Amino acid sequence: MNFWELLTSAKTQDFIKDARSRKLDALQVSTRLNKDGCSNEERSVIMDYMALVPKFREKFFGESERKDKFLLCDKLALEQSTAQDIGRWKAGLWPSEGSVHDLCCGMGGDSFFLPRSLKITGVDLDENRLAMYRYNMGVLGKSAESQCADVREVARNNDSNGNKKKDYFTIDPARRAIEGENQRDLRNLTPTLEEVAEISKHYKGGMAKLPPGYPPAEIPDGTEILYLGGHSDCRECLVLFGALAKNPDTVRAVIVDKSGETLAEWSRKRDRESETLDDELQEKLDKNDTLEGKDRTYRTATSRNDLPLGCISQYISEPAPVLIRSHLFNQAALDCDPSAHLISEGIAYVTSEKPLSAPGFSCYEVLAHAEIATGAVRAMLKEHDIGKITLKLRGVKLDPDAEIKRLKSKGKNSAILFYTRAYGEKIAILARKF
């Protein structure tokens, strides 16, 4: 029995159901599997899989449908798959008729949410992934063919074989070399974006899922670029080709709610100049990139067309990650308040006289600010009777837990404490959620 047969057997799945209902711990699970005659390797496979069960149920199924659902996957396949909220939103981009190749299909995360009216074929070079794909599509009651092949060859053959020609494609290029580790070089995709662009020429239209931090300047002209996520994350950079690109040479940022509906959306015409930083600014940001507490998201937060610099105003706001990735936070901020501006280059904290609206921004009312020195910050906290602190770091190097202990705040109120930079200098900003 191979491991896929082991995991999909009624005996194993009944065991998992029972173990989960009894809330058995790892030792109890291992002991019971040993008594059932499982080898060490079989025990390891089953226990690793059990850890994934609640994760894939939450990722792909609604609360009313996730109980007792079993899919085939491993940790890496699960991490790379599209979750239900984004998947349901993306379903609206497809036409109601036609056929589609799910290239680099993996466990099937993208095919799960394709409209049932489309004829689907999953393509992958990995037979294990295709075994997952076939089983999972069956669990979801979706009809699909599968093909073990190099996706580049499949695309080239798409024009020459009329019986198998597909109208559309979707592709999620492999981007992680080691399980659980993101590739640092975002250009290291298989197939490459250049190859995906070539693949697109053999179809009416299609979509490619890229890491959100992929350099936008390398995305070809004539495509539509979508940044998708919730209000606190950016999970996909989606590039639409051909007939699926309803708004070519446009950049959109979309915040999606848990049910897959649009919560907020912004757009702009693509501007090549804003996608490339000048050498002087790039050098500054490269130096700041080594600072602890400065998320890599914000390394390209500032370009020629972003907001001007200014002093700290009445409110300070964090743009949603989809707005930062898409370089739309400047437009969204100015729509709320024409006075909106940054307080430091390369750091996407926006300050304004009026509050900036959710879900595009998390907005805070500024209470006070001081230099980052223990005495000055303690005095500021004492003046406003602050006890509980949430410390946010961006552009400042220190251990947040150690800093909170060192400040020894003992007041009755709670507040947000920003450790960041204003005009490049370190500053502490005390604020409360608006």
Residue-wise pLDDT for 45-70, tens only, equals 999 999 999 999 999 998 777 778 89
Here the tokens at position 416 are 């947000």
Going by their DSSP bridges, the two strands 250-256 and 224-229 should be labelled as parallel
- pTM comes to 0.88
pLDDT of 253 > 70? The answer is: yes
Query: Mean pLDDT over residues 389-411, rounded?
Result: 92
Q: What is the pLDDT of residue 305?
A: 54
Looking at per-residue pLDDT, the higher value among 296 and 23 belongs to: 23
Query: Mean pLDDT over residues 392-403, rounded?
Result: 90
Q: What is the pLDDT of residue 302?
A: 47
Name the 3-class secondary structure at 249. coil
Distance CA 434, CA 421 (A): 21
pLDDT of 222 > 80? The answer is: yes
Token match 């250049």: residue? 194
> Which of 181-185, 197-201, 214-218, 329-333 shows the lowest per-residue confidence on average (mean pLDDT)?
181-185
Query: Mean pLDDT over residues 272-284, rounded?
Result: 63
Q: What is the pLDDT of residue 274?
A: 72
pLDDT of 389 > 70? The answer is: yes
163 Cα distance to chain centroid: 37
Here the tokens at position 83 are 């979750």
Which residue, among 254, 241, 227, 75, has the nearest Cα to 171 in the 3D structure?
A: 241
pLDDT of 267 > 90? The answer is: yes
Residues in the chain: 434
Q: What is the pLDDT of residue 181?
A: 47
Order of strands across the sheet with 168-171? 144-148, 119-124, 99-103, 168-171, 205-210, 236-242, 224-229, 250-256, 262-269
Contact 66, 193 (CB under 8 A): no
Token match 């009026």: residue? 354
Query: Mean pLDDT over residues 323-336, rounded?
Result: 93
In degrees and rounded to multiples of 5, residue 211 shows phi and psi of -60, 140
Distance CA 301, CA 125 (A): 37
Which residue, among 208, 181, 166, has the nearest Cα to 79 in the 3D structure?
A: 181
List the alpha helices (DSSP H) in 112-243: 127-139, 151-158, 193-200
Residue-wise pLDDT for 161-196, tens only, equals 554 567 999 999 987 554 444 444 566 788 999 999
Per-residue pLDDT band at 275 (split at 50, 70, 90):
confident
Which residue, among 350, 386, 390, has the nearest Cα to 367 in the 3D structure?
A: 386
Q: Other C-beta atoms within 10 Å of 19: how many?
A: 19
pLDDT of 282 > 50? The answer is: yes
